[in-house]
């Protein structure tokens, strides 16, 4: 995998001379104190990130943490004071304004928190805006815009004006406007933050569906950790313009780099973050044996007994109550499943369900006790 978006020690300073400020802020000056003394504020402080092709990368932070500025640095709406942004290996600072416009038209779609739809255009003309700017003829761009609207479920509304639509529908138009260009990169600035919780979760679902259809590189800004966990392949946590930690939700949860990171996860639903594989343990009775016959197995004492073959594939489980259960009949968990999803199965089975990885290899079992313990991660 190569990185689609590469941010290299980016700085964005507001309020005054940047070179000097960077030098001072880089040495251990308290940013708040510095701001009060000089009126100079660093919106983005020394941020280096790489976003891979096809991943949903969530930048998460409270308001004022610099995450929106970071997104605008990616498409050049904001110019960095220092550092470099590379899109598909191309440095933004080396581009002329025409080249930058071309890059924005062809490679990047953007969705805004405030929707930012053009009130004087109909829904379909809003969706076709990017194509119009790129100089596509009317018929063609309307066709593409209509397809994008169809995809977000708004084909019937295409003659209306944005102000005749509800908030959720307006943001679908915003999404369609970005999708109509079919860009490899999608920038979403708190795209769902202004929506009702129910509609927000619908939109998240829609985004995941779209991502499953066609892999795009998505940079998603959010202040909602639940949203970040649900959508993000990786999450970067930002505070005061700095990235505190970047990684998968589970690694942020289980190995927080600082108390500030831990603080973020204070109210989080752990069960929705933890992978079952991470809490699986080896059972007491485990036979690794590809050839033994039933009578020999029966001789093994213990309940339940898990039997694997030499390539660690599950052959079956013997329990006292149900006797021998063939592998095909055993209810299993897959690695990647969240603890929350595993709960009903763990609760209903007479034996702890085994966890298999994507190749079907046995990783361990999840006992009800382990499951309960996992929920009280010390935060």
Residues lying near another protein in the complex (CB under 8 A): 72, 75, 77, 97-98, 101-106, 108-110, 112, 114, 116-121, 129-130, 132-134, 177, 181, 187
For another protein, the closer of residues 112 and 362 by Cβ is: 112
For another protein, the closer of residues 22 and 117 by Cβ is: 117
For another protein, the closer of residues 105 and 263 by Cβ is: 105
For another protein, the closer of residues 110 and 158 by Cβ is: 110
Sign of the CA dihedral running 335, 339, 342, 347: positive
Degrees, nearest 5: CA angle 78-243-63 = 65
Q: How far is the CB of 266 from another protein (least distance, A)?
A: 32
Q: How far is the CB of 68 from another protein (least distance, A)?
A: 10
Q: How far is the CB of 167 from another protein (least distance, A)?
A: 15
**How many angstroms separate the CA atoms of 23 and 26, rounded?**
5
Segments of 183-230 assigned E as strands: 185-189, 217-222
**How many angstroms separate the CA atoms of 90 and 280, rounded?**
44
Q: How far is the CB of 118 from another protein (least distance, A)?
A: 6
Q: How far is the CB of 93 from another protein (least distance, A)?
A: 17
For another protein, the closer of residues 127 and 229 by Cβ is: 127
For another protein, the closer of residues 189 and 275 by Cβ is: 189
For another protein, the closer of residues 114 and 166 by Cβ is: 114
Buried b (16+ CB within 10 A) or exposed e, 39-69: ebbbbbbbbebbbeeebbbbbbbeeebbbbb
Q: How far is the CB of 332 from another protein (least distance, A)?
A: 46
**How many angstroms separate the CA atoms of 333 and 346, rounded?**
9
Q: How far is the CB of 186 from another protein (least distance, A)?
A: 11
Strand order across the 305-308 sheet: 286-288, 305-308, 314-319, 323-326
Which residues are paired to 218 by β-bridges? 56, 186
Within 10 angstroms of residue 2's Cβ, the number of other Cβ atoms is 9
Tokens of 57: 């990368």
DSSP state of 240: T
For another protein, the closer of residues 132 and 182 by Cβ is: 132
From residue 29, alpha-carbon distances to 21, 25, 64, 207 in Å are 10, 5, 19, 41
Tokens of 78: 């904001």
Q: How far is the CB of 106 from another protein (least distance, A)?
A: 8
Please name the residues in contact with 78: beta carbons below 8 A apart, sequence gap of 6 or more: 12, 69, 72
Q: How far is the CB of 165 from another protein (least distance, A)?
A: 15
For another protein, the closer of residues 104 and 338 by Cβ is: 104
For another protein, the closer of residues 107 and 313 by Cβ is: 107
Q: How far apart are the first and last CA of the chain?
A: 34
Exposed / middle / buried, residue 33 (Cβ in 10 Å: 0-12, 13-18, 19+): exposed
Q: How far is the CB of 222 from another protein (least distance, A)?
A: 18
The answer to whether the CB of 11 falls within 8 A of the CB of 81 is yes
């Amino acid at each position: 995998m190569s990185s689609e978006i590469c941010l290299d020690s980016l700085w964005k300073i507001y309020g005054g001379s940047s070179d000097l400020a960077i030098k001072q802020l880089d040495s251990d000056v308290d940013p708040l104190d510095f701001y009060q003394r000089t009126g100079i504020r660093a919106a983005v402080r020394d941020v280096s990130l790489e976003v891979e092709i096809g991943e949903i990368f969530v930048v998460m932070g409270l308001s004022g943490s610099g995450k929106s500025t970071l997104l605008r640095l990616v498409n050049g709406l904001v110019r960095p004071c220092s550092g470099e942004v590379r899109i598909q290996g191309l440095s933004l600072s080396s581009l002329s304004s025409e080249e930058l416009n071309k890059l924005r038209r062809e490679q990047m779609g953007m969705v805004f928190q405030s929707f930012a739809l053009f009130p004087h255009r109909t829904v379909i003309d809003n969706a076709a805006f990017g194509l119009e700017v790129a100089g596509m003829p009317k018929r063609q761009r309307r066709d593409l815009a209509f397809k994008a609207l169809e995809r977000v479920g708004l084909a019937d509304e295409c003659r209306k004006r944005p102000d005749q639509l509800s908030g959720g529908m307006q943001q679908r138009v915003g999404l369609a406007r970005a999708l109509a260009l079919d860009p490899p990169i999608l920038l979403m600035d708190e795209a769902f933050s202004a929506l009702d919780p129910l509609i927000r979760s619908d939109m998240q679902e829609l985004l995941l569906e779209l991502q499953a259809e066609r892999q795009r590189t998505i940079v998603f800004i959010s202040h909602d950790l639940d949203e970040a966990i649900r959508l993000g392949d990786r999450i970067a946590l930002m505070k005061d313009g700095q990235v505190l930690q970047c990684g998968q939700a589970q690694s942020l949860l289980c190995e927080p780099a600082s108390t500030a990171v831990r603080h973020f996860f204070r109210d989080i639903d752990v069960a929705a973050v933890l992978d079952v594989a991470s809490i699986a343990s080896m059972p007491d009775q485990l036979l690794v044996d590809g050839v033994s016959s039933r009578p020999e197995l029966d001789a093994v004492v213990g309940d339940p007994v898990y039997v694997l073959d030499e390539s660690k594939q599950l052959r079956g489980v013997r329990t006292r109550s149900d006797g021998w259960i063939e592998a095909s009949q055993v209810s299993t968990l897959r690695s990647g499943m969240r603890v929350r999803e595993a709960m009903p199965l763990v609760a209903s089975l007479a034996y702890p369900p085994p966890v298999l990885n994507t190749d079907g290899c046995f990783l361990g079992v999840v006992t009800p006790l382990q499951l309960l313990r996992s929920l009280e991660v010390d935060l």
